[in-house]
Structure 1
């Protein structure tokens, strides 16, 4: 299986695990991942946040790592990529305000290429207008955005993922094993032991 070329659209305060883990896991199995952020260059970084479930009514947030971008958003062409990853956290909240980011997201849906989103990543999908008529999981606080965008919210356990067509979605980082496995299946990735 030849490796795929995957675009990851990130932003400041994207969730640390939801950015770092898929980035590293996809590279580890032979794919190329270009992590980009609008208005930032390759070699610059985004600040990430660690969101944890500590018994409060919502998650807590702590500073994460500085994640180094390895490509420049202004220089990428979505048509050069085989798939898209949208991490969660607070990044998607402001990334959806960039018309070029929303256009890039729409490209992957218009061409039916694989897309993986987790947690608050659904906010970017809603902002790009690609959820109408689709089923999508997300962090429960994003249910309203999925539904207001014309989608059907998929309410699943925090450690599970859901695939419909070209979209793999999950509620939060505890779903990584299931979410990444389902995304790899969409990519046609076969791992043999």
Structure 2
């Protein structure tokens, strides 16, 4: 039986920050259960593609329909080895769901690996689990990390920050870094 990862997303999750981790972790042999509050397996979430085209902030274009693989209401954190929180606009509203915050706290209380990319640390901040942690995020989310008692670390857009059981990254160019470090936290060994 393969190890299971819970991938927490929602409508207008960032496309690359959802599809790439889902596929990369699946390729490594993990069973990735993608869930969204108020949705069931087989339903979809709309994704968004974010890019920088010269304006002061990113542009958002409609992405793919991403199929969920498990029912949110059936999540039992003890069944999972790790939690991956996607970015985009989804964290802004899924953090308002009490069960999302409870799930996040349960992973931290158990010391299990947690990954959050881009705006994903908004969920961590709302759950109150960042106290004493170093974390990165999309720069506009840096104040959320700081206000939640964490230390915001500015890194390159293709880098990740690891602090104990937590790995964070600022945006989709860091998909490789965050997936690699998250898999390492779950015990994966890489040899080339």
| TM-score clears 0.5 | yes
| Corresponding position of 1:3 | 2
CA shift at 1:3, angstroms? 3.5
Aligned residues: 192
Q: Match of 2:116, SS?
A: strand
Distance 2:29 2:137 in 1: 27
| Corresponding position of 1:118 | 117
Matched, 1:98 2:67: no
Q: What runs of 5+ residues in structure 2 fail to find an aligned partner?
A: none
CA shift at 1:180, angstroms? 1.1
| Corresponding position of 1:143 | 142
Distance 1:54 1:79 in 2: 43
Matched, 1:17 2:10: no
Q: What runs of 5+ residues in structure 1 fail to find an aligned partner?
A: none
RMSD of aligned Cα (Å)? 1.1
Distance 1:137 1:61 in 2: 21
Scaled by the length of structure 2, what TM-score is found? 0.97
Give the alignment of 1:34-49 within 5 angstroms: 34-49=33-48
CA shift at 1:185, angstroms? 1.0
| Corresponding position of 2:184 | 185
**How has the CA–CA distance of structure 1 residues 3 and 189 changed in structure 2, closer, same or farther, with 3 Å as cutoff?**
farther
1:28-81 CA-partner distances (Å, limit 9, x unpaired): 110100000111011000001001122321111000100000100001111111
Q: Match of 1:61, SS?
A: strand
Give the alignment of 1:50-65 within 5 angstroms: 50-65=49-64
CA shift at 1:192, angstroms? 4.1
Distance 1:54 1:114 in 2: 34
